């Protein structure tokens, strides 16, 4: 981070991929810093993206820390700033400041089985964790990935998930049956219950719509996962990134400072404001 916490670095968009079409469109942007700028990050951290003249928005960094040539952000179109980003083209320049927030403690999970559970755009914040675990495959036990979208057209990182099958057990789902779909039909929490995970020596990481997270955690606890074995991120609560604006607080915690990554044991002690 440079000396002025509010001053973004300039970055040029070098690649845009349309992940999901429609009203809740998701695009993945790769950006490279200009003028020798840049910063390192850890899995779970976020960055503030600026579209000059429009505003800025906190976005999870969706690329693995080992990738140094660019930063990747997968962004759902949902407001003024994200719509402006979606309208941008390769070669356009944005502002990026960060990294902000804490990280998933991946290093503490060596030797353990990892169960990732994502829904919708919630795959993006945990994707760097998956990529880090796969890049250090021998450090971890079994890796399992559950991910679901409303329809087959809502599955982001589709090609990347298929490539992942060689390194992890991947279980995809959509909400309702479709012609040609041979994966699970039903909500993500139900898919998890359909394939119960052994909690022994395991860590579960989940991110997605709040209602999905609620039922996923209920199901994991029913399988025997302890609160300390379940992690999630509430990056949607992050605002200015440095805890100065006071709009990120959940109870006593400023999420920009203490979060966004929490174990369920930590999160359940906070008011249910997230």
Please write the tens of the pLDDT for every residue from 190-235. 999 999 999 999 999 999 999 999 999 999 999 999 999 999 999 8
| pLDDT at residue 204 in the model | 98
pLDDT single digits (tens) 93-109: 999 999 999 999 999 99
The pLDDT-based confidence of 239 (bands split at 50, 70, 90) is: confident
The pLDDT-based confidence of 252 (bands split at 50, 70, 90) is: confident
Assigned domain for 127 exists? yes
Q: Which residues pair with 116 in a beta bridge?
A: 145, 205
Average model confidence (pLDDT) across the chain: 94
d(CA 96, CA 26): 19
- CATH number of the domain within which 116 lies: 3.40.50.80
| pLDDT at residue 1 in the model | 53
Higher-pLDDT residue of 31, 257:
31
The pLDDT-based confidence of 246 (bands split at 50, 70, 90) is: confident
Same domain, 88 and 157: no
Out of 100, 127, 145, pick the residue that ends a domain: 100
Q: Is 248 annotated as a binding residue?
A: yes
Out of 100, 134, 162, pick the residue that ends a domain: 100
Q: Give the chain's domain count.
A: 2
Helices (H), 136-267: 158-164, 188-194, 210-223, 255-258, 264-267
Assigned domain for 245 exists? no
Assigned domain for 270 exists? no
pLDDT single digits (tens) 178-189: 999 999 999 999
Sheet holding 26-33, edge to edge: 55-60, 46-51, 93-100, 9-20, 26-33, 71-76
Assigned domain for 74 exists? yes
Assigned domain for 255 exists? no
Same domain, 227 and 112: yes
Least confident of 8-17, 168-177, 259-268: 259-268
| pLDDT at residue 137 in the model | 95
Q: Is 240 annotated as a binding residue?
A: yes
d(CA 263, CA 203): 10
Q: Is 207 annotated as a binding residue?
A: no
Taking the complete model, does pTM exceed 0.75, yes or no?
Answer: yes
% of the chain surpassing 90 pLDDT: 83
Same domain, 146 and 221: yes
Assigned domain for 17 exists? yes
Same domain, 136 and 160: yes
Assigned domain for 77 exists? yes
Containing structural domain, residue 31: 9-100
- Of the candidates 188, 198, 207, 140, the residue with the CA atom closest to the CA atom of residue 167: 140
Query: Across residues 161-170, what is the average pLDDT?
Result: 95
| pLDDT at residue 217 in the model | 97
Q: Is 121 annotated as a binding residue?
A: no
| pLDDT at residue 247 in the model | 82
Same domain, 88 and 175: no
Same domain, 87 and 124: no
Same domain, 156 and 119: yes
d(CA 18, CA 41): 24
């Amino acid at each position: 981070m440079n000396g002025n916490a509010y001053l973004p670095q300039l970055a040029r968009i070098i690649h845009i991929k349309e992940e999901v079409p429609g009203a809740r469109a998701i695009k993945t942007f790769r950006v490279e810093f200009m003028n020798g700028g840049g910063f390192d990050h850890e899995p779970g951290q976020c960055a503030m993206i600026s579209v000059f003249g429009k505003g800025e928005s906190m976005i999870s960094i969706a690329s693995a820390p080992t990738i140094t040539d660019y930063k990747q952000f997968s962004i759902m179109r949902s407001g003024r700033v994200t719509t402006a980003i979606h309208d941008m083209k390769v070669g356009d320049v944005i502002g990026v400041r960060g990294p902000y927030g804490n990280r998933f403690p991946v290093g503490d999970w060596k030797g353990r089985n990892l169960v990732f559970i994502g829904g919708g755009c919630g795959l993006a914040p945990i994707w760097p964790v998956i990529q880090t675990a796969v890049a250090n495959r021998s450090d971890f036990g079994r890796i399992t990935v559950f991910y679901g979208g409303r329809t087959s057209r809502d599955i982001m990182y589709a090609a990347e998930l298929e490539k992942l099958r060689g390194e992890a057990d991947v279980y995809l789902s959509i909400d309702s049956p479709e012609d040609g779909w041979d994966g699970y039909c039903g909500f993500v929490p139900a898919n998890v219950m359909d394939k119960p995970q052994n909690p022994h020596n395991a860590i579960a990481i989940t991110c997605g719509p709040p209602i999905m997270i609620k039922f996923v955690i209920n199901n994991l606890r029913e399988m025997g996962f302890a609160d300390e074995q379940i992690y999630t991120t509430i990056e949607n609560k992050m605002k200015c990134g440095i805890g100065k604006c006071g709009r990120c607080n959940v109870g006593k915690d400023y999420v920009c400072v203490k979060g966004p990554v929490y174990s369920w044991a930590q999160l359940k002690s906070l008011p249910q404001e997230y």
